[in-house]
């Protein structure tokens, strides 16, 4: 990592620390704030522990920073009570909800969409550098992982709501009475990731000379023989030969 790269990461880390600490003061619901920040603590630890031996690009760190700042806002107010409509009224004198005919707080939906839009790129960088994927798979796998982690988070919300129940469970779940809330959240995260990967495909197809060849090669069958039980049989015989 270059000195400039390291400095950029540390600046973002310091800025995020300031935002996080400011929004940790007197949140609307302290217990919900704690639940919302469990995954944040894990993410911050992983990013700090890996930035020296596997630093991400500045684009990836910037996208992660923006998303985590938005999450801090959501955890401070609880996602269903972020007063963005009031902020809009103070800035423009008009209600955003009335203009768009919204009957619920959509901050959670926006952040789910941005989860896919902002984090699919860092996920792709990880797949390229760790799994060494190419072509089609370098775009599909980030989309797939974004969708699956979005689904996993909805399961965590459900489990937390079942475990804690009451107002805390409902605040963390944040469905606002919509029985399809989890499905819509996952769909928006998937849409965000799809837009991000489509954008990268279009950009790379224009800039990368061997784009078509790499794409075709990634879909070529490398092992024509079937695996499954045949591969297991080979492994079994190889293990018991010695």
- The residue extents of the domains of the chain are 3-220
Q: What does the block give as tokens for 131?
A: 């799994």
Instruction: Please state, in angstroms and rounded to a whole number, the distance separating the CA atoms of residues 62 and 67.
Output: 9
Tell me the Cα Rg of the chain.
22
Tell me the pLDDT of the chain averaged across its residues: 90
User: Which residues, at least 6 apart from 74, have a Cβ–Cβ distance to it below 8 Å?
Assistant: 36, 82, 107, 108, 111
The pLDDT score that the predictor gives to residue 234 is 83
135, 166 contact by CB (below 8 A): no
147, 189 contact by CB (below 8 A): yes
- pLDDT tens sequence across 47-103: 999 988 889 999 999 999 999 999 999 999 988 899 999 999 999 999 999 999 888
Going by pLDDT thresholds of 50, 70 and 90, the confidence category of residue 165 is: low
Instruction: Provide the greatest CA pair distance for the chain.
Output: 80
The pLDDT score that the predictor gives to residue 167 is 65
Q: What is the mean pLDDT of residues 113-136?
A: 96
Percentage of residues of the chain with pLDDT beyond 90: 65
The pLDDT score that the predictor gives to residue 173 is 58
147, 193 contact by CB (below 8 A): yes
H-state helical runs in 51-136: 58-77, 84-92, 96-100, 107-126
- If one compares 181 and 100, the residue with the highest pLDDT of the two is 100
Is residue 176 scored above 90 in pLDDT?
A: no
The pLDDT score that the predictor gives to residue 162 is 76
Q: What is the mean pLDDT of residues 39-44?
A: 93
77-98 per-residue burial string, b: 16 or more CB within 10 A, e: under 16:
bbbbbbeebeeeeeeeeeebbe
- pLDDT tens sequence across 2-18: 788 889 999 999 999 99
Is residue 172 scored above 60 in pLDDT?
A: no
Is residue 24 scored above 80 in pLDDT?
A: yes
In this prediction the pTM is: 0.89
Backbone angle region of 54, left / alpha / beta, with phi > 0 → left and psi within -120 to 50 → alpha: beta
Is residue 156 scored above 90 in pLDDT?
A: no
Instruction: Please state, in angstroms and rounded to a whole number, the distance separating the CA atoms of residues 12 and 32.
Output: 25
């Amino acid at each position: 990592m270059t000195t400039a790269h390291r400095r950029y990461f540390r600046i973002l880390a310091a800025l995020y620390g300031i935002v996080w600490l400011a929004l940790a003061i007197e949140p609307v619901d302290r217990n919900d704030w704690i639940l919302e920040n469990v995954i944040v603590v894990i993410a911050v630890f992983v990013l700090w522990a890996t930035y020296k031996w596997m630093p991400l690009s500045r684009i990836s760190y910037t996208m992660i920073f923006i998303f985590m700042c938005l999450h801090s806002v959501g955890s401070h107010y609880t996602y269903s009570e972020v007063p963005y409509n009031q902020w809009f009224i103070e800035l423009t004198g008009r209600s955003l909800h009335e203009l768009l005919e919204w009957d619920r707080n959509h901050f959670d939906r926006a952040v789910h969409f941005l989860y896919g839009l902002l984090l699919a790129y860092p996920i792709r960088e990880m797949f390229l550098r760790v799994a060494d994927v190419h072509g089609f798979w370098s775009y599909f796998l980030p989309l797939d992982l974004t969708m699956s982690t979005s689904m996993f988070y909805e399961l965590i919300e459900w489990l937390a709501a079942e475990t804690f129940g009451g107002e805390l469970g409902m605040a963390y779940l944040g469905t606002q009475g919509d029985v399809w809330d989890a499905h819509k959240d996952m769909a928006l995260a998937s849409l965000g990731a799809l837009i991000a990967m489509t954008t990268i495909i279009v950009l790379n197809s224009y800039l990368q000379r061997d784009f078509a060849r790499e794409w075709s090669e990634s879909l070529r069958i490398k092992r024509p023989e079937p695996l499954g039980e045949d591969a297991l049989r080979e492994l079994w015989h190889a293990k018991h030969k010695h």
